[in-house]
Amino acid sequence: MSNRRHLFEQASALLDRCQSQGQPIAVLVFDIDHFKRINDTYGHGAGDSVLRAIADVCRRSVRATDLAARVGGEEFVVVMPGTPLEGALELAERLRLRVWEIEHTVAPGIVDRATISVGVAASDVAGSGLAELMHSADEALYRAKAAGRNRSVAHSPAPVTA
């Protein structure tokens, strides 16, 4: 799993390549719902364990051509070259469901589950720049949270929810 700096170094090159080849590119921005509760209730060790498990799910769910990174705290980004909005929303839902399936032992005898909220944007709906794509995916993430969390929302003129 890449970090924030590596993501931004590589994502611009992916975007340029997709634009020159006339291919779509999509971005997912997701974070762990109520992550502060996990840390505050069970401690940072439990929070770190949840982060590692979710990063592993993300790594196993993306293609080799995708770029996945933890960009800070409990926030992750996936850049998907050659992927239209519909394909990105499918991955978002697959990630969301796989995260929910994981049972985390957060303390002796205590099992919990984490959920994620996901914002999705693609070059065909969000403009052509990386900053615009990231901003649009982030806006969709906030809509997912406002709609109750544990969901994927695609940026579009009319909100698309799954």
Give the residues of the chain that fall short of pLDDT 70.
Answer: 124-128, 157-162
Of 9, 74, 86, 101, the active-site residue reads: 74
Tell which residue, 123, 121, 89, has the closest CA to residue 15: 123
**Under DSSP, is residue 24 helix (H, G, I), strand (E, B) or coil?**
coil
Residue 75 is among the residues annotated as catalytic for this protein: no
- pLDDT, residue 86, reads 95
In the chain, where the domains are located: 2-161
Backbone CA torsion sign across 49, 29, 96, 117:
positive
Which CATH superfamily does the domain covering 2-161 fall into? Reverse transcriptase/Diguanylate cyclase domain (3.30.70.270)
Tokens of 105: 């032992």
* Closest C-alpha among 66, 56, 58 to residue 26: 66
According to the model, what pLDDT value does residue 12 have?
87
Entry pTM: 0.91
Tell me what pLDDT residue 142 has: 96
